[in-house]
Structure formats: C-alpha cells, structure tokens
Amino acid sequence: MFSELLQVMLPLAVILGVVLHGVTLAKTGDLAEISVSEREILISPRSVFKILSLRWNIRLPSEAITSVSVVLPGGVQAPGLRYGAVFFPGLTAGTYMAPDGMSYWLTGQRLPALEITLREGPLSYVVVQVRDPEAVATRIRNRGNAPSGGPGRG
C-alpha cells in the first residue's frame, strides 16, 4: 500500500517542486536569453523554464517580425487554451492557442516583458520576460547592429 502511494505521490511532488522552483526563479524577470542576428532571433529559455515551457529554444526569422514592444503582462493570463503550457500563479510558460493564432509566453511576476509580433509562421506573437526588455527590443529593431542615435520604434 505504501509503495503504491509513493509511486503516485513522488512524481507529483517532483512536478510541483519544479513548478514552484520556476515561480521562485521567475521573480527575477530574467527567464530567457535572446540572441539577435540579421537573419533570426533566437529565444532560449533559461534552466527550468525549458522544461516548464516544453521548448528548448524558439527561432524567429527576422523578416517575419512586424513589431517589437515592451508590455506589462503582470496579472494577465495568456489568452486561449494551453497547448503544451504551464500556468501557475506567478508563472506562465508555454504555447497557447487563441482565435487570433498561437502564442508563446514565458512570464513571471508583474515585470515588463518583450512582445514580438509575427506576420507568418506557427506563432502569431511571443511574450517573454528578459533582464532588460527595452534594450533587447532596441537590439531586435536594429537586428543586432549597434543603435544609431537611441532607441527608435520600429
């Protein structure tokens, strides 16, 4: 009886532990690393967020990006149905399906996040929290080149 209960409870305890660890790490607002080149944007979730969002990385072709902005997603749930995603108070990670298309979210606490809107591909948009979303948005707008005269809206 005890071994059967342990077989059921241990995996649940491990899953809950991973999620709670993710919530704790999400408080920093630095959930992913973003690499920017002329050809593509590479989003790599950090540590446990790879597991929670069920993605090791996301490649976005530069030509598919229509806009980049900084948003404040705190307190708002990702729209639509979860499609390989986790939602827990203080953490939203993974892919969501909504009438306007699929989106990828990797957000934690009420901190600014980067929103990248796409014109084509499997995702309509991506919302991800990084250490300095305004600086990353500027790098994406400039496609990895050094900014010339300050951040512009692109």
Rounded CA-CA distance 22/13 in Å is: 14
- Domain ranges in the chain are 2-141
Residue with tokens 């500027």: 138
Q: What is the pLDDT of residues 33-91, one digit of tens each?
A: 999 999 999 999 988 888 888 888 999 999 999 999 999 866 556 777 777 777 777 78
User: Is pLDDT at 8 greater than 50 in this prediction?
Assistant: yes
CATH fold for the domain made of 2-141 = PH-domain like (2.30.29)
Predicted structure pTM score: 0.78
**What does the chain come to in residues?**
154
Q: What is the pLDDT of residues 108-146, one digit of tens each?
A: 877 899 999 999 889 999 999 999 999 999 999 998 555
